[in-house]
């Protein structure tokens, strides 16, 4: 069996005992375990139980004699992928091993994608802008539906983050949110990335590969820069949206996938349709609900809270001086939120003093500072500004300020996170104010 599978291009390791098998499984990442029910040092079902507990992604195929078929079937109830009787038919062996390997890789990929989404939960969308709050409200209203969503906006405004936000709110959040940047994949490979391919479908296709449409089954498929999709792929993708079926490259068997489509673009798709570069029928198919994300220069009230948000996420973060904050608030941010995040990270990395000064910022930001000398009041109230000046924009001895904090707490039903948003400060700053004011 080992020699045959190696001849088919598989990497194989043979273990004579259950103990040796468990050791091998812990030393490398394996896809499939061929497990005999009778081993010199253990029962196969006991090894199966350990594998299911410690290596959940590995797919186990039970190998047994005809007299133990009932035991093999019982093993499948314990989590085995399949079983084979001895001596095996080698063609059947190949087919089952490849199917088990495909499932192992899919589950591993799904786990990776779920981890990415869960990691994204800690990067909550922060905003003070009413325009952005309207976008979030629209997404929350349509989250439960399957209707496609088209997110438009300049590069760097956070379209992918909004797609993840929509997925988390949807009833599909237990399944993966799969993303693909259409501009990052050559047209010759995009079909295979979307729909997958069969072994031998083209040069270099040494094994089967599921496409992202297949991986997204039950979840969300996010296509970034959908306007860059090659025209020959557009018609094939339209068929998937209309029928829910597709063919892998080189396949004759039709497959099905049920996913929610979220598409994003920094182009004017209507103009692309008029120019003949984007199919009109596909445009109307993905244009179920349209949201437009405003650029950062049109929601400057978000700049100070984003600076504070990104700064607090950095190790050994330093506060920004008033002049540095003023320069950040005055910049037009052609790269939007992405550019702002990198500017904050760069400044924290290059600054030599205890405070990030104007000179620590990128040159294109410093050059605009001459026309902007004052820090917006919103910026002064951020955690970064408070720490930079050593002063609070709210005085614990000022009855007016104390009343303002109290009203915000009552409005938020004493939930500090919501009250901090109302006041335009971080939760940590509000916590310090509450301690000083005796709340």
Q: Which of 82-86, 199-203, 428-432 shows the lowest mean pLDDT across its residues?
A: 428-432
Residues of the chain with CATH 3.40.50.2300: 2-107
Average pLDDT over residues 193-199: 90
* Mean pLDDT calculated for residue range 279-287: 95
Please report how the helices 427-437 and 399-411 are oriented relative to each other, as an axis angle in degrees rounded to 10: 120
Adjacent-strand bridge partners of 85: 64
| CATH 1.10.10 domain position(s) in the chain | 393-439
The 3-state DSSP class for residue 34 equals strand
- For the chain, give every residue range classified as CATH 3.40.50.300: 124-292
133 to each of 106, 167, 292, 408, 416, how far by Cα in Å?
A: 36, 17, 12, 19, 19
How confident is residue 199, by pLDDT bands cut at 50, 70 and 90? confident
Cα–Cα distance, 286 to 219 (Å, whole number): 16
Confidence label for 153 from pLDDT (cuts 50, 70 and 90): very high
Query: Cα separation of 402 and 405, whole Å?
Result: 5
How far does CA 148 lie from the centroid of its chain? 18
Task: Determine what percent of the chain is predicted with pLDDT higher than 70.
Answer: 86
Average pLDDT, the chain: 84
**Distances from the Cα of 70 to the Cαs of 67, 75, 90, 212, 328, in angstroms?**
8, 9, 22, 37, 70
129 touches 302 (CB < 8 A): yes
pLDDT of residue 292: 96
CA distances from 180 to 15, 143, 330, 426 (A): 40, 20, 34, 34
Q: Does domain 124-292 have CATH number 3.40.50.300?
A: yes
User: What architecture is the 393-439 domain classified under in CATH?
Assistant: Orthogonal Bundle (1.10)
Q: Which of 375, 368, 376, 306 is nearest to 343 (CA)?
A: 306
100-129, pLDDT tens digit by residue? Answer: 998 888 877 666 655 544 444 434 688 889
235 token code pair = 């018609």
Please determine, for residue 287, whether its predicted confidence score (pLDDT) is greater than 50. Answer: yes
Q: What percent of the chain has pLDDT over 90?
A: 46
DSSP conformation class of 293: P
Q: In this predicted structure, what is the pLDDT of residue 121?
A: 40
Q: Does pLDDT of 391 surpass 70?
A: no
Per-residue pLDDT tens digits for 62-79: 888 766 667 767 777 778
Collapsing DSSP states into helix, strand and coil, what is residue 411? helix
Q: Give residue 317's pLDDT.
A: 83
Answering whether pTM is above 0.75, one says no
Strand, helix or coil for residue 86: coil
Give me the CATH code for the 296-391 domain, please.
1.10.8.60
The answer to whether residues 151 and 125 touch, using CB atoms and an 8 Å cutoff, is no
Of 259, 274, 256, the C-alpha closest to 149 is 259
What are the pLDDT digits (tens) for 234-268?
999 999 999 999 999 988 889 999 999 999 999 99
pLDDT at 107: 78
Q: Which of 35, 184, 148 is nearest to 96 (CA)?
A: 35
If you search the block for the tokens 């088209």, which residue do you land on?
150
Instruction: Please state the CATH superfamily assignment of the domain spanning residues 2-107 in this structure.
Output: Response regulator (3.40.50.2300)
Inform me whether the pLDDT recorded for 26 exceeds 90.
Answer: no
Q: What is the pLDDT of residue 371?
A: 44
- Considering only 9-23, 69-83, 133-147, which range has the smallest mean pLDDT? 69-83
Burial category of 83 from C-beta neighbours within 10 Å (exposed 0-12, middle 13-18, buried 19 and up): buried
- β strands within 65-154, DSSP E: 82-85, 149-152
Mean pLDDT throughout 159-170?
93
> How far is 430 from 241, CA to CA, in rounded Å?
48
pLDDT reported for residue 370: 46
pLDDT of amino acid 335: 94
Q: Kindly report, as residue ranges, where domains of CATH 1.10.8.60 are found in the chain.
A: 296-391
- The least confident of 189-193, 317-321, 361-365, 389-393 is 389-393
Among 391, 329, 387, CA closest to 355? 387
């Amino acid at each position: 069996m080992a020699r045959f599978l190696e001849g088919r291009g598989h990497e194989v390791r043979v273990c004579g005992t259950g103990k040796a098998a468990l050791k091998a499984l812990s030393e490398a990442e394996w896809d499939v375990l061929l497990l005999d029910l009778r081993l010199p040092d253990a029962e196969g079902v006991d090894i199966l139980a350990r594998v299911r507990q410690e290596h959940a992604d590995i797919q186990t195929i039970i190998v047994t004699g005809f007299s133990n078929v009932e035991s093999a079937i019982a093993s499948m109830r314990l989590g085995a992928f399949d079983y084979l009787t001895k001596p095996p038919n080698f063609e059947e062996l190949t087919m089952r091993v490849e199917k088990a390997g495909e499932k192992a890789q899919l589950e591993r990929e799904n786990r990776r994608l779920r981890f990415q989404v869960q990691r994204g939960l800690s990067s909550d969308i922060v905003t003070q802008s009413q325009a952005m709050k309207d976008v979030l409200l629209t997404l929350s209203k349509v989250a439960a539906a399957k209707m496609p969503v088209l997110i438009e906006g300049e590069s760097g405004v956070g379209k992918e983050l909004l797609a993840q936000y929509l997925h988390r709110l949807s009833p599909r959040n237990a399944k993966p949110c799969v993303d693909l940047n259409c501009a990052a994949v050559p047209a010759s490979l995009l079909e295979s990335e979307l729909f997958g391919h069969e072994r031998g479908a083209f040069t270099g296709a040494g094994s089967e590969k599921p496409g992202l449409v297949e991986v997204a089954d039950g979840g969300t498929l996010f296509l970034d820069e959908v306007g860059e999709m090659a025209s020959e792929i557009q018609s094939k993708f339209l068929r998937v949206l209309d029928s829910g079926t597709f063919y892998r490259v080189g396949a004759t068997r039709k497959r099905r996938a049920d996913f929610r489509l979220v598409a994003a673009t920094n182009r004017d798709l209507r103009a692309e349709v008029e120019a003949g570069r984007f199919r009109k029928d596909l445009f109307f198919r993905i244009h179920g609900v349209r949201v437009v994300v405003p650029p950062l220069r049109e929601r400057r009230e978000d700049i100070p809270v984003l600076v504070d948000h990104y700064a607090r996420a950095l190790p050994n973060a330093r506060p920004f001086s008033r002049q540095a904050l003023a320069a950040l608030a005055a910049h037009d941010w052609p790269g939007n939120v992405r550019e702002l995040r990198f500017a904050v990270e760069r400044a924290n990395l290059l600054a030599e003093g205890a405070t990030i000064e104007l000179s620590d910022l990128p040159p294109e930001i410093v050059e605009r500072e001459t026309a902007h000398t004052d820090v917006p009041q919103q910026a002064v109230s951020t955690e970064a500004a408070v720490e930079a000046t050593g002063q609070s924009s709210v005085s614990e001895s000022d009855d007016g300020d104390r009343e303002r904090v109290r009203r915000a707490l009552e409005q938020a039903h004493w939930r500090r996170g919501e009250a901090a948003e109302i006041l335009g400060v971080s939760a940590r700053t509000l916590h310090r104010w509450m301690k000083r004011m005796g709340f």
